[in-house]
């Protein structure tokens, strides 16, 4: 992981800052993922609405992690904060199909709000260690990923065991450096 991040950093130092937004419903595993990646100190900001935002800076890559609460009245707020990310990392809990449906709606709303067509999208189908976890093929189906217009990758993960995190970084690296110009 460290070697890969060093490569990303080296690559990014030559260019502008990349802004990666990590989003997902509460409890999907974002904090665990960021903790496992050990990218640096995480700043947690809790808005008056109870909405959590974590900002994490690794050299000139900025990760912003959001908990999406599924609350429609927060959409304006999201639009304000989610301007022009370089890529979106979308973390879902693979164990609950009902929540995945909600996650799909949130993702679609989010992509509309960012106004960025075809932005690289990395979906992490997290909690694959649990027996009730849906297979990635089903996660892909529920999220309707095959209709996504830009480059995307769906990665099965178990954040608590760090499984799939290296692969996630690898695909993110490929998508943001090879397919996307810096913002």
Q: Which residues here bind ligand G3D, judged by CB under 6 A?
A: 24, 26-32, 67, 126-127, 129-130, 158-160
Distance of closest approach, residue 52 Cβ to Mg ion, in angstroms: 7
DSSP state of 33: H
Calpha distance 35→14 (Å, rounded): 27
Q: Which is nearer to ligand G3D, 12 or 28 (CB)?
A: 28
Q: Concatenated DSSP letters for 116-178? A: -TT--EEEEEE-TTSTTPPPHHHHHHHHTGGG-SS-EEEEE-BGGGTBTHHHHHHHHHHIIII
Largest CA distance in the chain: 44
Residue 24 or 151 having the CB closest to ligand G3D: 24
Residue 159 CB, shortest distance to ligand G3D, in Å, is 4
- Closest approach of Cβ 107 to ligand G3D, in Å? 14
Among ligand G3D, Mg ion, none, partner that 127 touches (CB below 5 to 8 angstroms by kind): ligand G3D
Give residues 20-39 in contact with Mg ion (rule: CB under 5 A). Answer: 26
């Amino acid at each position: 992981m460290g070697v890969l991040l060093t490569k990303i950093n080296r690559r990014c130092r030559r260019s502008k800052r990349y802004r990666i937004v990590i989003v997902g419903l509460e409890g999907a595993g974002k904090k665990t993922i960021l903790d496992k990646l050990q990218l640096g100190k995480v700043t947690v900001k809790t808005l008056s609405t109870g909405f959590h935002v974590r900002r994490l800076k690794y050299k000139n890559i900025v990760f912003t992690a959001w908990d999406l609460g599924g609350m429609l009245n927060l959409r304006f707020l999201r639009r304000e904060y989610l301007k022009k990310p370089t890529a979106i990392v979308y973390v879902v809990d693979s164990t609950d199909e009902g929540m995945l449906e909600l996650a799909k709606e949130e993702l679609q709303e989010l992509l509309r709000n960012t106004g960025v067509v075809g932005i690289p999208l990395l979906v992490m189908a997290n909690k694959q260690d649990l027996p009730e976890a849906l297979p990635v093929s089903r996660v892909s189906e529920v999220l309707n990923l095959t209709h996504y217009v830009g480059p995307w990758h769906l990665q099965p993960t178990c954040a608590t065991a760090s499984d799939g995190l290296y692969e996630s970084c690898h695909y993110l690296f490929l998508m943001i450096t090879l397919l996307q110009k810096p913002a």
